[in-house]
Homo-oligomer: A and B are copies of this chain.
Amino acid sequence: MRVLINAIQRTGNPSVIGLDPRPELLPSILLEGAQTPRDVADAYFAFNTAVIDALYDIIPAVKPQIAMYEALGIAGIETFIKTNEYAQSRGLYVLADIKRGDIGSTAASYASHLCGTPQIEGMPRFDVWHEDAVTVNPYLGSDGIAPFVTAAVATNKDIFVLAKTSNPSSSELQDLVIDGSIPHETVAEHVAGLLEEWGESTRDKETGYSHVGAVVGATHPVEGTKLRKLMPHTFFLVPGYGAQGGTGADLAGLFDSNGLGALVNSSRGIIGAWKKAAEIPEFATREDALAFVARSARKAALAMKDDISQAIAQ
Contact = CB atoms under 8 A, between A and B. Distances in A.
A120 B177 contact: no
A68 interface: yes
Contact of A70 (B76, B110, B171): B110
Q: How many copies of the shown chain assemble into the complex?
A: 2
Interface stretch (A6-14, A86-94, A95-103): A95-103
Contacts of A242: none
Q: How large is the interface on A (under 10, 10 to 19, 20 to 34, 35 or more residues)?
A: 35 or more
A128 interface: yes
B71 A74 contact: no
A144 interface: yes
A118 interface: yes
A178 to B, nearest CB: 5
Contact of A178 (B68, B143, B179): B179
A177 B179 CA distance: 5
A118 B71 CA distance: 7
A126 B73 contact: yes
Contacts of A106: 20, 65, 67-68
Interface stretch (A50-58, A134-142, A277-285, A304-312): A134-142
A43 to B, nearest CB: 10
Given A36-B123, A99-B100, 12 more contacts: A22-B118, A23-B119, A34-B123, A39-B123, A40-B123, A67-B106, A70-B113, A138-B139, A139-B174, A141-B168, A172-B194, A179-B179
